Structure 1
Amino acid sequence: MATVELRFSALPEHVRTARLVAAAVARRAGVDEAVLDEVRLAVGEACSRAVGLHISNGVTAPVRVSLTEDEKKFSIEVGDEAPRAVTGHTAEGDAATADALSGDDAGAETDDEMGLAVISGLVDDVEVTSDETGGVIRMSWPTATASAVS
Structure 2
Amino acid sequence: MPTVELRFSAQPEHVRTARLVAAAVARRAGVDEAVLDEVRLAVGEACSRAVGLHRSHGVDAPVRVVLTEEEKSFSIEVGDEVPGPGGPGTVVPGARGSVPYEELDDGGEDEMGLAVISGLVDDVEVSSGESGGVIRMSWPTTPATMLP
Same fold, TM exceeding 0.5? yes
Q: Deviation of residue 90 (structure 1)?
A: 1.2
Deviating runs (4+, > 6 A) in structure 1?
A: none
Q: Match of 2:91, SS?
A: strand
Q: Determine which structure has the larger helix proportion and give its number.
A: 1
Give the CA RMSD over aligned residues: 1.4
Q: Match of 2:143, SS?
A: helix
2:112 maps to 1:114: yes
2:101 maps to 1:98: yes
Moved more, 68-77 or 87-96: 87-96
Contact 2:85-2:103 within 8 A present in 1 as well:
no
Aligned sequence identity (%)? 76
Structure 1: gaps spanning 5 or more residues: 104-108
Counting only pairs closer than 5 Å after superposition, residues 138-149 of structure 1 correspond to structure 2 as: 138-145=136-143
Q: Deviation of residue 70 (structure 1)?
A: 1.1
Residue number in structure 1 paired with 2:123: 125
Q: Deviation of residue 126 (structure 1)?
A: 0.2
CA distance in 2, matches of 1:98, 1:13: 26
Give the total of aligned pairs. Answer: 141
Residue number in structure 1 paired with 2:60: 60
CA shift digits 1:43-79 (9 cap, x unpaired): 0000000000000110000000000001100000000
Residue number in structure 2 paired with 1:76: 76
CA distance in 2, matches of 1:86, 1:95: 17
CA distance in 2, matches of 1:49, 1:73: 24
Structure 2: gaps spanning 5 or more residues: none
Contact 1:100-1:130 within 8 A present in 2 as well:
no
Contact 1:45-1:118 within 8 A present in 2 as well:
yes
